[in-house]
Chain A
C-alpha cells in the first residue's frame, strides 16, 4: 500500500507581503517520482526551498514520515534525508569534483584526516553510473555547464537521500544525458527512494513521473496520475488558457552576409570553424554538450582568443580581442549562464537593461546618466517582453527565472546589435515564457537581426532555425537546411555517425 513520506499542511510564504505560495497541501508518496510543474513564478522553486530548509514558511507545517518537522536549514534537511539539486549551481569552483560531492559529509579516517581514497573511489563509481567522462580530481571551474549539472546530481545521490528533489535538472543536458539521468532515477525509485521532479519540459514529466502536481500563481491547481493527463492538458492547466502554435512562422532571411567566420581555431577547443550568417537569419548551432558551441560564441565575442582565423562583419575583417570590441561591431551575446555572466541580480531591472548600452544614455564629459531616458527605454522593453516585476526598480534577485531571462535578452538587444548570439535562450524557462522568447527572436529577425541560436533542445532548433550547423568535439560536422533539419539528421551528425558537407 502507498505510504505518505512527506506532507505539507497549509504552507504559505510571502516575501515582503507579496504572496508566493498560498495554502499548499500536498502529499508525497514513498517510492514515487512526483512531477511538479508550473509557470515561472508559480512557486515551484520556493516550495522546494521550503522543503529543503533554505526558506522558512510564513505559515503551515511539514510532516515527514508522519511527524511534524521544523527544517531550519539545508543541514536539517540532510539529516532528515532530504536532498535538493537546485536550479542554480551550488558547487565550489576551486575545489575538485570529489571535494564537492562530499562537501559537508566528508568521509574521515580514524585519525580524523580526510579519507580521500574512498571518497575518490566512490565519486568515480557515481560518475561512471551517470556515464560522465570526468575524473574525480578535476576542478569544477574546468567543467562545462552540463558536467557541473552531473556533479550536482552525484552530490545529491551520494548521501542516499530518502527524498531527492530535482529542480530543473535537465535544462542544460542533451537528450543523451537526459536518458542516462532517467535510467538512474528509475533505478533509485525501484530501490525505494522518492523523487520530486520539477521541470518545464512536459514531455519529460510525462515520461518519467508517476504523478504530477500542477501549480499556478502559488496554489495547487490539480494533482493527477500521469496516465490521466496529456501533455496538452498539463500545459493548459499550467497557463490557465488555451495554447496555440508554439513556434512562430519562419521568415525568409535576406541574401546579404552580415557575419562571416573563417577557420576560427583554438587548438584543443575549436578547430577550423567557418560559416556565414545572413541578415534576418536564425542559424542554429547544435551538438552534444561539450561540442564547443559556447566556445565558438565566446571566441566571436572576444572572451576567448582565436589562434587562427578571421571574423568579418559586413565583408570587412574586424579585430575582436575583448567584448567591448564585439559590442562596438554590433555583436551581442545572451549568455547561457544567466546568473554567472548574464545579469546582475543585485541590480534593478532598469540598471540591467542599460548595462551594456549605458553610453547611449549618457551626456556631458562626465557621462551623466539621463535617468528618464534610461527608464523610458526599460519601460519599452518591459512592455514588449512582457516582463513581470513589481516595478522596474525591483532587483532581479526577486524575479523568477523566466523574467530574469527576458531582462537578460532585453539587455542584449538594447545595444541595437546586428548579430545576436543567443546561447540556450530558454534555459530554465516555462512554456509561455519560452513562446514569448521565440516570438521575440523571430520578430527581431524579421526586423533584420541575424541570430546565432545555440540550443540543446532539438525541437527548438528545428522550430526556430533556417539553417543548422552541427558540431562535435570542436569541429563543424555538417550543416542542414530547410526540410533536412530533423532530429535524426542532427543526431547523426552530432554523434559522428554521419559526416555531412560543411
Chain B
C-alpha cells in the first residue's frame, strides 16, 4: 500500500531522539522572524558564549542525572572554586613575583579543588547512603556560605593583568569558553556512547540491582560522575573568573544549578536516568540561551525570564512524557 508508507515512515521516525534539535531549529526560525537583530553573527556568538559556562557544567550534570542522581551544589561551587583559585593566584604572585607561575598555580589549584569537592559529594552519597538531592542541597548551602565567609561577602579582584585576558580571548572566530564547551562535549559524547564507563553509567541508572549483580562497581561509577562534574565546574570557574578578572562571592554562579539541570532536561535526557545525550544537553543549553536572548531583544523584563525558563522546563518534560 503506497499511501501508508509515508505514514509509516513518519511513525517510525525517532522523534524522541531529535526532538531537542527540531525545537532548536523551530525556535531559531521563529526568533529570526521576530527580531532582525537576532541573526546577526555578533548576537549569535554572544548567545553561545553566554551559555558556555553553564553548558559545560550541564555536561557533567547529564552524567549525574543518567545515574539517577542530581547535583545541586554546582552554582555554589563555582563561587567557591573561583574564589579559592583567585586567592591562591594572588598569594603566589605576592610571594614569588612570577605572574605566569602564579596563574598556572591558581588554575591547577582550582581544578584540584573541583575534583576534590566533586569526589566529596560522590563519596558522601555512596558511602553514606544519603540521597543525592539531600547531600548536594547541603553542599549548596555549605560552599556558598564558605565563599561568603572567606571573601567577606564581597568581591575579590585578581592582581594579575594577564589572567583577565584569556577568558574573553577569541580563537578562530569564537570565544575560548565556547571552544572549551564544544571540545568537552566531543570528549564526553565519546565517553558516554563508546566507552565501558558510559555503558556502566546507563546500566546503573536503569536498574542499580541489575548493575550490582552484573559485577559493576556501582559506587565507583557514581563517584566518578560527581568528580567529573566537579572538574567541569572548576573549568567553568576558571573561565568565569578570568572573564571578570574578579570573583563576587554573592553573585558568581548564582542559579547555575537551575540552568544546568534545565539544559539537561530540555536536551532530552529523562530525569529518571538510565540514558541521556551529551549533544542534546548542548542543544538544551542553547535553546535556553536563545529564549533569554529573545526576551531581552523583545524588551521583556529581566525579572520575568525565570518564569519563562521554568515554563520551558516543565513543558519540555511534559512533551517527553506524552511521547513515551
List residues of chain A with CB under 8 Å of any chain B CB: 16-17, 301, 303, 322-324, 326-328, 333, 335, 340-347, 351, 355-356, 358-359, 362, 366-369, 371, 411
Contacts and interface: CB of A to CB of B under 8 A. Distances in A.
A347 B195 contact: no
Interface residues of B, number: 25
Contacts of B194: 368-369, 371
B12 A16 contact: yes
A333 to B, nearest CB: 7
Contacts of A371: 194
A355 B206 contact: no
B79 interface: no
B63 to A, nearest CB: 15
Given A323-B215, A344-B207, A356-B215, 19 more contacts: A16-B12, A17-B12, A303-B212, A322-B217, A323-B212, A323-B213, A324-B216, A327-B215, A343-B210, A344-B203, A347-B203, A355-B199, A359-B196, A362-B196, A367-B196, A368-B190, A368-B194, A368-B195, A369-B195
Most buried by A among B190, B195, B200, B274: B195
A342 B11 contact: no
Contacts of A335: 213
A366 B213 contact: no
Contact of B206 (A326, A346, A359): A346
Interface in B42-71: none
A26 to B, nearest CB: 29
Contacts of A340: 207, 209-210
A367 B12 contact: no
A369 B215 CA distance: 17
Contacts of A356: 214-215
Given A17-B8, A17-B11, A347-B202, A358 B196 contact: yes
Contacts of B216: 324, 355
Nearest to B200: A358
A358 B199 contact: yes
A371 B193 CA distance: 11
Contacts of B12: 16-17
3 closest A-B pairs by beta carbon, nearest first, are A367-B196, A327-B215, A341-B213
A113 B84 CA distance: 55
B222 interface: no
Given A346-B275, A367-B195, A368-B194, A326 B11 contact: no
Interface in B179-236: 190-191, 194-197, 199-200, 202-203, 206-207, 209-210, 212-217
B4 to A, nearest CB: 9
Contacts of A345: 206
Contacts of B11: 16-17
Q: Which of A324, A333, A351, A355 has the most CB of B within 10 A?
A: A355
A362 B207 contact: no
Contacts of B213: 301, 303, 323, 333, 335, 341-342
A341 B195 contact: no
B77 to A, nearest CB: 26
A431 B186 CA distance: 49
A361 to B, nearest CB: 8
B123 to A, nearest CB: 17
B215 A341 contact: no
Contacts of A333: 213
B171 to A, nearest CB: 26
Contacts of A344: 203, 206-207, 210
Nearest to A323: B215
A17 B12 CA distance: 9
Nearest to A326: B215
Residue with the greatest number of chain B CB neighbours at <10 A, chosen from A301, A328, A368, A411: A368
16 contacts: A17-B8, A303-B212, A303-B213, A322-B217, A340-B210, A341-B212, A342-B213, A344-B207, A346-B275, A347-B203, A355-B216, A358-B200, A359-B196, A362-B196, A368-B195, A371-B194
A457 B207 CA distance: 29
